[in-house]
Amino acid sequence: MKQFLLIDADDTLWENNVYFERAFEEFVSFLDHSTLGAAEIRAVLDEIEAANNKIHGYGAASFARNLCQCYEHLRGPAIRSAELETIMSFAERILHQPIELIDGVEETLRYLFGRHDLTLFTKGHPEEQKLKIHRSGLGAWFHHTAVVREKDSAAYRALVRRLALDPERTWMIGNSPRSDINPALEAGLNAVYVPHPRTWTLERQEIRDGGGQLLILERFSDLGLHF
């Protein structure tokens, strides 16, 4: 029977967080803090991002703003504009990184496209996400595309209503417990968790029981064995 598959993009279809991690490593090196190590600096940045994401959303531009705020917090107000420009460049380079598809993604999408109804469901800056979808070459394998500011249970329920999906036959597939798995289950949908070793810290959560079924797979290509 045809299923409705909602599929995440970043770190599910292609590599993403690794580029943010590399930018953070450059930031730590540039900051060259006298007492704080990378883990302590990361904790400060996480706190800033958790607060700012609710206001400015996600993406490279928001990340650049968060890095600058972190730098000002740790260095103090007496900083030069050239320093901030350097920090901005760390984040801006993320936009120009090649799209690196995760192994087996394109072949699996091609297989699923002929059997089920596929929706690319991602969050972030709309234009930035649309550009990545275009550059990935994967857009042709989806019947629908939806980019939202936040993937919470309300967003899932709204998508189900808009596309007239049957919740019992709808599955959210992704790597993020916070954005892909827990809110989908909370909304009464099913979920497929495909862990990624470099999932963003703020996207990690304990998976909670929900109204739907939960399937955990080792790799994206394993979807072909179940759907």
Q: Which domains does the chain have, with CATH numbers?
A: 4-14+100-225 (3.40.50.1000), 17-96 (1.10.150.240)
What does the pLDDT look like over 123-153, one tens digit per residue? Answer: 999 999 999 999 999 999 999 999 999 999 9
The reported pLDDT for the residue numbered 209 is 85
The reported pLDDT for the residue numbered 140 is 95
pTM over 0.75: yes
Three-state SS sequence of the chain: CCCEEEECCECCCECCHHHHHHHHHHHHHHHCCCCCCHHHHHHHHHHHHHHHHHHHCCCHHHHHHHHHHHHHHHHCCCCCHHHHHHHHHHHHHHHHCCCCECCCHHHHHHHHHCCCEEEEEEECCHHHHHHHHHHHCCHHHCCEEEEECCCCHHHHHHHHHHHCCCHHHEEEEECCHHHHHHHHHHCCCEEEECCCCCCCHHHCCCCCCCCCCEEECCCHHHHHHCC
The reported pLDDT for the residue numbered 6 is 98
Query: Residue 76's CB: how many other CB atoms inside 10 A?
Result: 8
214-216, strands of its sheet edge to edge:
144-148, 117-123, 4-7, 170-174, 190-193, 214-216
What does the pLDDT look like over 184-209, one tens digit per residue? Answer: 999 999 999 999 999 999 999 999 98
The reported pLDDT for the residue numbered 46 is 95
The reported pLDDT for the residue numbered 54 is 84
The reported pLDDT for the residue numbered 133 is 95
Q: Which residues of the chain have pLDDT under 70?
A: none
